[in-house]
Amino acid sequence: MADFEMAFHSAVKSVFPDVVIKGCLFHFTNAIWKNIQSNGLQAEYAADAKYALNLKKLMVLAYVPEDDVVEAYDQLIKTKFYV
């Protein structure tokens, strides 16, 4: 289990190419929140409930069955909000 820092994932994969990296919901949602902040979206997130809901949909992908995550993500990014 690990956090969602891509540099860490790359380093581990370079040493252990067959490893399966799993993360936790806290670190996943924290990584998304940091991305929201680094892109200056936190003010709109706080002010607009519909905007926040659309960003939270990324966070709840963690609850989608593993076999359906890619399809759910693809459907999500095709919505009007993400296009």
**53-65: per-residue pLDDT in tens?**
999 999 999 899 9
Q: Which residue has the tokens 């820092």?
A: 5
d(CA 56, CA 73): 12
Helix (H, G, I), strand (E, B), or coil: what is residue 23?
Answer: strand
Write down the pLDDT at residue 78. Answer: 95
pLDDT band at 9 (very low <50, low <70, confident <90, very high): confident
Q: Quick check: 1 pLDDT over 70?
A: no
Average pLDDT over the chain, rounded to an integer:
89
pLDDT band at 26 (very low <50, low <70, confident <90, very high): confident
Stated pTM of the model: 0.68
